[in-house]
A = this chain, B = another copy of it.
């Protein structure tokens, strides 16, 4: 929750970390209330009781702040699903997957603005820091793979050699070389299905249909282990 204040030493550094956290909190509120375009460095600075330019002591540019927020969100989501898996580590694979899926969905429903931020279209002129974003996304994915590997769930759907090779390569890139292609494949389709469901749910697609999302979600999660 407060990565910027994780290693405060001097008073000045502590004050600085606090200001950064406060600024991010305001930015998240702006995001929740008005979408990405409502995030304004100047407005944040004024709300902090400072003048406009002061904020540039803390963020080099608006894009920098956005990058921070996205990275934080990825890390936060990864923590949430990791925690859910830890809490159910002694239970069956299916139960662990249930917990993982619920954690993912719960995180998104609880803070839809942050979830949208993760998968928002790339802002034009936003290449700088792209590596940080990719890294953060990969950390989240790695957590998902870890949880999956831990469940002991396996797929009965044989992969082509080509796909298996690609998946193994991908696992290596994530320092997850030990994970089998089957697990990696399941992680991928779990991700696409969770994202599809959840991203529609946060736009209220199901409530406007008059259909209970919980029931369908449960069935979709079950389908992952029985296909």
Contacts and interface: CB of A to CB of B under 8 A. Distances in A.
Counting every copy of the chain, the complex holds: 2
B188 A211 contact: yes
Contacts of A185: 216
Contacts of A134: 208
Interface string A123-144: 1100000000010000000000
Contacts of A169: 210
B211 A166 contact: yes
A76 to B, nearest CB: 19
19 contacts: A33-B124, A37-B37, A38-B124, A119-B199, A119-B200, A121-B203, A134-B208, A163-B211, A163-B216, A185-B216, A188-B209, A189-B219, A192-B220, A193-B193, A193-B196, A196-B196, A196-B199, A223-B227, A227-B227
Instruction: For the complex of A and B, list the 7 residue pairs with the smallest distance between their C-beta atoms, beginning with the closest.
Output: A196-B196, A192-B196, A195-B196, A192-B197, A166-B211, A34-B124, A170-B209
